[in-house]
Amino acid sequence: MLGKNLIHACCLTATLWAFSAQASGMCATSEEMDALNARVLQSDLMVAALSCGQQKNYNLFVSHFKDELAHSGKKLREYFHRNYPHTSEASLNSFVTRLANNASHHALENSHKAYCSHSSELFSSTLAVSKGMLSDALADMNIAPRHGIQPCGWAENFKRFWNRD
Q: Which of 1-5, 115-119, 128-132, 135-139 has the lowest mean pLDDT?
A: 1-5
Domain-embedded: residue 156:
no
Domain-embedded: residue 17:
no
Q: What pLDDT is attached to residue 9?
A: 37
Domain-embedded: residue 11:
no
DSSP letter at 129 equals: S
**114 neighbors 13 (Cβ within 8 angstroms):** no
Q: How sure is the predictor about 15, in pLDDT bands with cuts at 50, 70 and 90? A: very low
Domain-embedded: residue 158:
no
- Residue 2 — left, alpha, or beta (φ > 0 → left; ψ -120 to 50 → alpha)? alpha
Q: How sure is the predictor about 130, in pLDDT bands with cuts at 50, 70 and 90? A: very high
Q: Domain limits at 64?
A: 28-146
Q: What are the CA-CA distances from residue 18 to residues 10, 57, 79, 84 (Å)?
A: 12, 39, 17, 19
Domain-embedded: residue 136:
yes
CA dist 30 and 34 (Å) reads: 6
What angle, 0 to 180 degrees and rounded to 10, lies between the N-to-C axes of helices 2-23 and 153-162? 110
Q: State pLDDT tens for residues 69-91.
A: 999 999 999 999 999 999 999 99
**39 neighbors 96 (Cβ within 8 angstroms):** yes
Domain-embedded: residue 117:
yes
Q: What pLDDT is attached to residue 162?
A: 56
What angle, 0 to 180 degrees and rounded to 10, lies between the N-to-C axes of helices 30-52 and 55-64? 160
Domain-embedded: residue 133:
yes
Domain-embedded: residue 37:
yes
Whether this prediction's pTM lies above 0.85 is answered by no
Please give the share of the chain, as a percent, with pLDDT higher than 90: 58
| Amino acid (one-letter) located at 53 | G
Q: What pLDDT is attached to residue 147?
A: 87
Q: What pLDDT is attached to residue 18?
A: 37
Q: How sure is the predictor about 110, in pLDDT bands with cuts at 50, 70 and 90? A: confident
Count up the domains in the chain and report the number. Answer: 1
